[in-house]
Amino acid sequence: MRDSAVVLCSDDIMLAGQVFLPDDCTGVYPAVCICHGIPAVPYNPDEKGGYPELAARFCRAGFIALVFNFRGCGPSQGNIDLPGWADDLEAAVEFLYMIPEVDRKKIYLVGSSGGAAACINVAAREKRVGAVATLACPAEFDFMAGGYTVESLIVRFREIGIIKDADFPPSVKKWLDGFKAVAPIEHIDKISPKPLLLVHGADDDVVPVEHVERLYKKAGRPKEKLVLPGAGHRLRQDERAIGAVISWLRKLAGL
């Protein structure tokens, strides 16, 4: 397995990424783009068990794997903005599409939480996406239900480091409306006929399990739902969740 640091460009914003390719890399391979969620803590470049390790696991399973930081997150430029995250993911799909070793008919998305929302938004309109799997995906964003006011939410995002610029957002209303515009419940029915897998934890205390029930009900076919007993929100650290996603994608890819 070989990995390389890459830089994606989205709306003139530089995004830090990493791509993993199998060692032999002869012929073409299915590809997966792995998307993180909204960070809950400041970026730690020394974090163990992070998304690059997850991408490496997908690569060992037979995929070319791309992982990147959405705008505002980690070493990427910009500030958190959900329509912008969808643009970032479009740029990532374009990046994968242009890799000679990628099978262009087998480009898949895997997203966690807020990143899963971006995956659904993009998969609903991007013809180059072949399938999407989500982990702990919200049906919609309701930060106020989590006890935040608009002001405290922005303060919290500044503390985490995902709002970097002092004058952001220029319009609070427009920024919040962006979260509503990308809400998965508004787009999930447009993914069909692409295969869809929704994975959720039965004990998720961040995105309650009712969200996946609503999404599954509205989604078109083919669709699958997996609710894991005893699982919480951080499904990327749950072997059952990641194993199920890899098995599902390997079957789709014919591996």
Report whether pLDDT(31) > 90.
Answer: yes
Predicted confidence (pLDDT) per residue in 100-144, tens digit: 999 999 999 999 999 999 999 999 999 999 999 999 999 999 887
pLDDT of residue 52: 94
Predicted confidence (pLDDT) per residue in 41-92, tens digit: 999 887 776 899 999 999 999 999 999 999 999 999 999 999 999 999 999 9
Whether the ω angle into residue 193 lies within 30 degrees of 0, i.e. cis, is yes
Cα 95 to Cα 89: distance, rounded to the nearest angstrom: 10
Question: CA 224 → CA 88, 134, 217, distances in Å?
Answer: 26, 11, 11
Smallest CA-to-CA distance from 122 within 153, 96, 146, 143 is with: 96
pTM above 0.85, yes or no: yes
Predicted confidence (pLDDT) per residue in 216-253, tens digit: 999 999 999 999 999 999 999 999 999 999 999 999 99
pLDDT of residue 145: 66
pLDDT of residue 26: 76
Least confident segment among 22-36, 104-118, 184-198: 22-36
pLDDT of residue 92: 98
Name the pLDDT band for 15 (thresholds 50, 70, 90).
very high
The domain made up of 2-253 is a member of CATH 3.40.50.1820: yes
Report whether pLDDT(152) > 90.
Answer: yes
Distance of CA 155 to the CA centre of its chain: 24
Around Cβ 26, how many Cβ atoms within 10 Å? 8
Smallest CA-to-CA distance from 247 within 28, 51, 62 is with: 62
Report whether pLDDT(214) > 70.
Answer: yes
Contacts of 186 (CB under 8 A, 6+ apart): 140
In the chain, the largest separation of any two C-alpha atoms, in whole Å, equals: 53
The whole-chain average pLDDT of the chain stands at: 95
Rounded to 10 deg, the angle between the 82-97 and 172-181 helix axes is 50
Mean pLDDT over 158-185 rounds to 96
pLDDT of residue 147: 78
Cα 119 to Cα 244: distance, rounded to the nearest angstrom: 18
Name the pLDDT band for 34 (thresholds 50, 70, 90).
very high
Cα 119 to Cα 111: distance, rounded to the nearest angstrom: 6
Report whether pLDDT(156) > 80.
Answer: yes
